[in-house]
Structures are given as C-alpha cells and as structure tokens.
Amino acid sequence: MKKNNTEEKYRLLEEKNRLAEEGGGKERVEKQHETGKKTARERITDLLDPGTFVEVDKLVTHRCSDFSMDRKKIPGDGVVAGYGKIEGRLVFLYAQDFTVFGGTLSRANADKIVKIQDMALKMGAPVIGLNDSGGARIQEGVQSLGGYADIFYRNVMCSGVVPQISAILGPCAGGAVYSPALTDFIIMTEKTSYMFVTGPEVIKAVTHETVTKEELGGAATHHGRSGVAHFTSESDEHAMMLIRELISFLPSNNMDDPPEKSVTDDIHRQEEKLDTLIPGDPNKPYDIKELIHAVVDNQHFLEVQPQYARNIVIGFGRLNGKTVGITANQPAHLAGVLDIDASVKAARFVRFCDSFHIPLVTFVDVPGFLPGTIQEFGGVIKHGAKLLYAFSEATVPKITLITRKAYGGAYCVMASKHIGGDVNLAYPTAEIAVMGSEGAVRILFKNITRESELKKSKDEYETNFYNPYKAAELGYIDEIIRPRETRFRLIQALEMTANKNKTNPPRKHGNIPL
C-alpha cells in the first residue's frame, strides 16, 4: 500500500513538471516558432553550459481569481527562472515565456524574478533577463504594476554591484521597458523584437502620427537612432552567443577582477602599418578601429553600440589576456568630434568599466565639440560634462594615447593627465592645442589681412603648437612613442597600474550632470 502511494506521489511530481515544461502547449509553441522565435526553455538551453541549469520556482502559479483566472493556471506562470553556468561561471537568469498568457507579468512571476535578483545580489553573480512579454497582466491590475516596481528597485540596487544584461526577444512595451533600461546592456533581435513606452495606436490617437512597431521601436531604431540598444542579433541563437561573449569580458561582481584568458598573441608584437595609419594631412580621415584591432589580443574587439554616435567607438578587448574597456574618437565619422550623443554613449561606458574594475584605454583624435544651435539648445554643455565627470570620477587604471588632434576642452575631457590619467602617451603626429590653426590665427592676428602674412603666421603656429612636445615638456604627456610599439607600450602601462589604489573623497554619491 505504501509503495503504491509513493509511486503515485512520484507520478504527480512528474506530471506537474511536464505541465510546467510544456508551457502554453504544443499549439502556442508552434506559433512561437512560426514567428521566428524560440521558447524560453530553448533560449536557456542555448545560453548556458550544457546540463548546468537549475530551475527555481518551477511550480509557482498566479493567485488571481478575477475574470475567471482561477480556472487558468499553468505551473511556472509565464516565466522560467533559475541559475546555471556560462564558461563555468555562475549566472542567474529569467526567461519570459510568451506561450503562457503572452508572457505577461503577474504578481507571482514578478516574485520569481525578484527572488532571482536577490539571489544574484547575495551570491555576487550576473543577472540575465530574456524578455518576451506582453507587459503587465491586466487582470491583476495594481498587483502587476507593483511587481514591475519591485523589479525596477532591485535593478537599481544591483547596479554597479553585479552585471545586468537584458535580451529583448519579442515585445517589450509600457512599464516593461524600464527594467531593461536600468540594466547595463541591452541586446535586441532584428525583426522579432521591439521596445516602446507607448505603441503606434496610442501615438496615432494622441499625436496623429502614423508609425509602425518596427519604425517606432525595432532593433534598428534603438541600435542606430535612440541608442537604447547596445547590440543587435540576427536571431535568438545569435543573441545567446552575444551574451556568452559579453559575459566572458566581465567580472562576476564589483569585488572581483575580470576573468583572464590565456594569451597566444605575442605581447611584443609590432604593427609596422600603424606607422603610416595617421595621414599627413590633418583633415584626412582614417579608421580608428584599424588601430584598435591591431593592438588588442588576437585582433578581437567587441564593439558596443557600433551604429549609434559613430564619432566615438567603445567596446571591450584584451591586452595580455586582461579585459580593457576602450574608448576612442573616430576620425572616419564627423572627424571624431564630440557631441551630445557621443558624450553620453562614452560616459555611461566609462562608468560601467569603473564600476567593475575594468581598466580604461582611451585613443584620442578629437577636434573639439560640435558647434551649432542644435547642440547648444540640446544641452551639449551638460551632456559633454557627463563624459568629463565619468573620466574624472573613475579610479581604475586610465591609459590615454593621443594619435593626432587633441584640441580645446575636448583634450581635457578625453582622459587627460589633468583629470587623473595614469599614463598619457602620444604619437609624434599628435597635435595638442587650444584650437585648429585656421581659427587660432584669425583670433591672434585679426589685424592681418594679407593672405601671405596669414599663411606665414599659420605656419609658425603649426610649427610651435601642432606637436606633442610642449605638452611633454610640461609633463602632461609621459612619453612620445612610435605607433608600431603601441601594443607593448599599452601592456606595460597596464602592468604598471595593475595594483593602483585610489579612493575618491567619502560621500554618499556625486551629482553627475544628468
């Protein structure tokens, strides 16, 4: 009798597990596949090391009885949550299941997400959210909204303590967009994901604008225009691979150092092509990414937000096996000028790196800040100050290399010696000055009208100021190096600063110019 009773209990457990793993059922799963999307469990399988996923709250169901909801209960209730490993390292994650109530957020599955966030914070491991949801569950009203707010609060508490990554793999609208926005990195899938606060129908009713979901909040929009997304992927599988790659550069928490990789790339490797990379004509562009790829380990550079504010380049690479965060002006786009979007893009990246002990390598070729009424009315003073604030506040090792132009306030902002640069290098082609020679001569010699005299004055100005030697004489540049030596010089600087110990004045927190 007891044996039969025990077997019955085992069968009941198996049945409940089966129901949870089926999600919304075969029909809804097939519909999910038809739209080009995978299920929550399939995504987790792609993301984690095989056999490492441990599910938490698998049998949780909602507690709503309104609108006959008490007759519709599915174990798991629209979100799969738990922990596992990526390259042997612990991560916590949750994946919204669109096949169950459209992945809508209930009070019960909000509690599941909150539990995962709390566990991640306690154990010191990254949190990954795989978002595919219809938003708040309307039947639950304010309980669902309260669930969102609880998640947002923990996003803020986790910020700067453990890395947070959001993948948008389907719809993400209304209040649902704020949790991803509070995380460190957002990945969106092309054609199957979108993010917006108010949808096309509401916009049409209120402002009479006609716009599609894709135009309003698709991956291309948020990757290239708004800057909300950091990466785009071609498919769910590609998104999971991107997350795995990103995690490989990051520490588990703010008390750990980033993981080191074994090095097969010679640290003494010289790149002769770098000696001719910088054009002789100061107005001629070149691609700063050629320099970045040439000096990092195995030419591997993970660029962040590559289509947004392309006048500045940010991303992760390795030097001698150690993760570095790279920020670089891009002369190939808008001459590498700093503007509102570039300043905000770089400032947030710098602050992320500083939060997680990732050294900063900065390549400088900047003619200044972009002039014009659009920039001034848009608050370029305030937004440019964000980048200045971020570099100044950062206490991680800061290595700066000036390749060509470093003019005016932009010279100060780009991790100069004056705002805490630890090692400041320059190429012989560096031009460190208050402004370009044309503008400077017009101001200094405004009474001279003859072109021949102006040209002579311009030549004299360039001879005296268009070089790195005055800054080197003053100690603002530590060393002037041959471009071909860049890789080894950067590695030397990083080795020297590896045990850097700097603490800012005690305070609750600063007041960054938001």
Which among 220, 409, 420, 472 is annotated as catalytic? 409
142 contacts: CB under 8 Å, gap ≥ 6: none
135 is annotated as an active-site residue: no
For residues 402 and 431, what is the distance between their CA atoms, to the nearest angstrom? 8
168 contacts: CB under 8 Å, gap ≥ 6: 131, 180, 186, 187, 188, 189, 193, 194, 195, 219, 229
> What are the per-10-residue average pLDDT scores of the chain (514 residues)?
76 87 84 92 97 91 65 78 98 93 84 96 98 77 85 97 97 88 97 91 92 93 95 96 98 96 95 95 94 97 98 98 98 97 98 98 96 96 97 98 95 96 97 77 69 71 81 95 98 97 94 94
Q: What integer pLDDT is reported at residue 323 of this predicted model? A: 98
Which among 76, 82, 135, 175 is annotated as catalytic? 175
410 is annotated as an active-site residue: yes
pTM, two decimal places: 0.94
For residues 464 and 109, what is the distance between their CA atoms, to the nearest angstrom? 67
409 is annotated as an active-site residue: yes
Q: Which two tokens stand for residue 203?
A: 């916009």
Q: What integer pLDDT is reported at residue 125 of this predicted model? A: 98
Q: Which two tokens stand for residue 51?
A: 């056999």
Which among 410, 415, 430, 493 is annotated as catalytic? 410
Q: Which two tokens stand for residue 23?
A: 């999600």
Q: What integer pLDDT is reported at residue 143 of this predicted model? A: 79
Q: What integer pLDDT is reported at residue 362 of this predicted model? A: 98
227 is annotated as an active-site residue: no
Which among 174, 317, 336, 368 is annotated as catalytic? 174
Name which of 74, 83, 142, 150 is nearest 110 in CA terms: 150
Q: Within a 10 A sphere around the Cβ of 59, how many other Cβ atoms?
A: 13
Partners of 54 in beta bridges: 83
Q: Within a 10 A sphere around the Cβ of 265, how many other Cβ atoms?
A: 16
In the 8-state DSSP scheme, what is residue 423?
E
